[in-house]
A and B are shown apart, each in its own frame.
Chain A
Amino acid sequence: MQRSVVNSYELRNDFPILKKKINGKELVYLDNASTTQKPYSVINSITDFYSNYNSNIHRAVYQLAEEATTLYEQSREKIANFISVRPEEIVFTRNTTESINLIAHSWARTNLKKDDGIAISELEHHSNIVPWQILSQEIGTRLEYVGIDENGFLDLEHLIELISSKKVKLVSLSHMSNVLGTIVPIERIIKIAHENDIPVMVDGAQSVPHMPVNVKNMDCDFLVFSAHKMLGPTGVGVLYAKKEFLEKMRPFMGGGDMIKEVFKFHTNYNEVPYKFEAGTPNIADVVGFGAAIDYLKKIGMENIRKHEIDLTEYALDSILSINHLTVYGPRDPNYRGGVISFNIADIHPHDLATIMNDHGIAIRSGHHCAQVLMQRLDVPATSRASFYIYNTKEEIDKFVNAIKEAGRIFKI
């Protein structure tokens, strides 16, 4: 077997949870598109923060507070550096969902008007659908769906038509589908949108953790992602927006930290990004996210992408040989992430997941917060396996054997 660029066997030792036994079997964690496991370095950095630096930030002049503020701001710099932007363009939120809601509230609500279109696709996660539906109900914007073909690729012609006819005033797209794994040709789309003066928001919840994402090259106007999907803690999300956008945007929430001066009846807001970080933030977890970024950089995002292409190719080859099994999404691993959605015969995904659990295997079953896509695929649910740096080919063999076992139990 060819040695992979990422030594997942060695890496696994950094993740305490991977030693856990489920039903007497080693945990095989294949639900990474949902959330990822955390290495010791991340867990320890959070403990270290609470043990040695805990205090509120941006407010006091004593040493502890200065140290905490420095650590928090260092994380911001690490993240800015990771996606090649300036630190003041990084706003910390709770998760991807909150970041998209912030854009809808603070940018779209004042920059879009009745009958303006917002282009999204049939691939979107609910978090890139529902905020725009709410906005449409409130100010009369319209959602324009870009369809997908039978392989899960976007109907680019339709999207380009929507853009060049100026029917839409915002393009908001998932960079990588959390169900089909489809990687969207986002740079090309952004270039065309910008030629027509239309801003683009990129949902990077699945792409930023799994492949190199360079905002300087991509030139998107907004990029959102979640720490917990890239080895970091839950409770931290990122909103990147170009500084000229952030400066013109209305605040999201009002309160402490986001202000410069408060008078009885009006307030002067703080500069960006602080204008969008009202109240005490999730300091310890932001610091933990910085440790996750360090860990990912050490491995290298190119290597992570190669490792996942390798695993995905191996997994697709194995499961496509199983009778009565349907895989959704692109076949070529170069055009998709390490997310495989499938169904086998009449076994419902929840029944399959129950059988997998006997073998210690954690896969996801259901609609994956993408019911519009389920309707497009005309299935009520799918099973989904999704990979990360610590997954191995041996684990994929176990997964494939468990699918065959399910076939035996269901007598197909």
Chain B
Amino acid sequence: MSDDIYREIILDHYRNPRNKGKLENADVTVHDSNPLCGDEIDIHLKVDGGVIRDVKFEGKGCAISQASASMLTELVMGKDLDVIKDLKKEDILENIGLTNLGPARIKCALLSLKVLKVGMVKYYSENDPKSAEQIKNESSLY
């Protein structure tokens, strides 16, 4: 149970988050919080030529939400926006190795993906409204 959740790797990302901080000249910055827990995540993206050139996050909250955000930044760094557009809940839960969380804690794990998707919508809505609509419609996170 909890031993399977709070594995070494989760605690490591919680205590030593990767890509944490602000990003100067970010193209997109998005913030969201989980009203139940008060978990908070900000994601900053630098995008160029359809590729995420840099990503950083800021946040506070439980080990699951913060480790998940840290691992998400590693996952998307240098990736094509098209690939990220298709990221699903399941991909994230697999990425962090937590596939049997209860409904309350799943929200913690997925907060950073939700913020990232909002960021993508924000980015696309300026130059590619169709993709923005598509992410909105496909994403059950909204």
Give the distance in Å from the alpha carbon of A125 to the alpha carbon of B62 in the complex: 23
Q: Are A348 and B1 closer than 8 Å at their CB atoms? A: no
Q: Is B113 an interface residue (CB 8 A)?
A: no
Within the complex, the shortest CB–CB distance from B72 to chain A, in Å, comes to 18
Give the size of the chain B interface in residues (CB under 8 angstroms): 19
B37 and A350 contact, CB distance less than 8 A: yes
Verify A351–B60 contact, CB threshold 8 A: no
Provide the bound-state CA to CA distance between A43 and B59, in Å: 45
Docked pose: A354 CA to B106 CA in angstroms: 12
Q: Does B61 contact A (CB under 8 A)?
A: yes
Interface of A is mostly: mixed
Q: Is A367 at the interface (CB under 8 A from chain B)? A: yes
Least distance between A344 CB and chain B CB atoms (Å): 13
Residue pair B2, A381 in contact (C-beta under 8 Å): no
Are B63 and A351 touching (Cβ within 8 A)? yes
Q: Are B11 and A358 in contact (CB under 8 A)?
A: no
Would B38 and A354 count as touching, CB distance under 8 A? no
B residues near A366, Cβ cutoff 8 Å:
36-38
| A337 → B minimal CB distance (Å) | 24
Interchain nearest-CB distance for B66 vs A (Å):
8
Contact partner of A350 (CB less than 8 A), chosen from B3, B11, B105, is: B105
A211 to B39, CA, bound (A): 35
**Chain B residue with minimal CB distance to A381?**
B38
Please state if B15 and A409 are interface contacts (CB–CB under 8 Å). no
A354 to B37, Cβ gap below 8 A? no
Closest 8 CB pairs of A and B: A348-B62, A350-B62, A355-B2, A358-B1, A351-B63, A409-B6, A351-B62, A358-B2
Could you list 29 examples of A-B contacts with CB < 8 Å? A23-B1, A346-B15, A348-B61, A348-B62, A348-B63, A349-B62, A350-B39, A350-B62, A350-B64, A350-B105, A350-B108, A351-B63, A351-B64, A354-B2, A354-B5, A355-B2, A358-B1, A365-B37, A366-B36, A366-B37, A366-B38, A380-B60, A381-B37, A381-B38, A406-B2, A409-B6, A410-B6, A410-B11, A411-B11
Which A residues contact B (CB, under 8 angstroms)?
Answer: 23, 346-351, 354-355, 358, 365-367, 380-381, 406, 409-411
